[in-house]
A = this chain, B = another copy of it.
C-alpha cells in the first residue's frame, strides 16, 4: 500500500477494532493509487486539489507535506494546482490553501 497520508490517528484503532473496514480501505487505496496511466505524483496533486477545493485544511496540509517530502515537489508546482482551485472554487479556498502552503514550505 503506497499511499498512507489518510492513515492518521484514527486508522490504528480501526485496524484493530474493525479489520473488515480496514481491509476494504486498503483494497480501495491500492486500486486508486496505481500510478499506471498517470504517475503517482500527479495523482497526489489531484488529491491535493480536491482537498483544497473543499477547504479541508487538515487534508490540504497533509497532502502538501506528503507531496513535498515524497517527490520534492516545488512551490511553483503546488501553486499551479492552487491556481485551478482559485478559478474553479473561488478566493476563500485558494487563500486558505496558499496560507497552508507557505506554512509547510517555510
Contacts and interface: CB of A to CB of B under 8 A. Distances in A.
B83 A34 contact: yes
Interface of A: 6, 8-11, 13-14, 17-18, 20-21, 23-25, 27-34, 36-38, 42-43, 45-47, 49-51, 53-56, 58-59, 74-77, 79-81, 83-92, 95-96, 98-99, 101-102
Given A27-B23, A54-B53, A46 B91 contact: no
When all copies of this chain in the complex are counted, the total is 6
A10 B102 contact: yes
A83 B32 contact: yes
Contact of A96 (B42, B58, B102): B58
A46 B43 contact: no
22 contacts: A6-B95, A10-B95, A11-B95, A11-B98, A20-B31, A21-B83, A24-B24, A24-B31, A32-B83, A32-B84, A38-B81, A42-B45, A50-B84, A50-B85, A50-B89, A51-B92, A54-B92, A55-B56, A59-B88, A88-B90, A89-B89, A90-B90
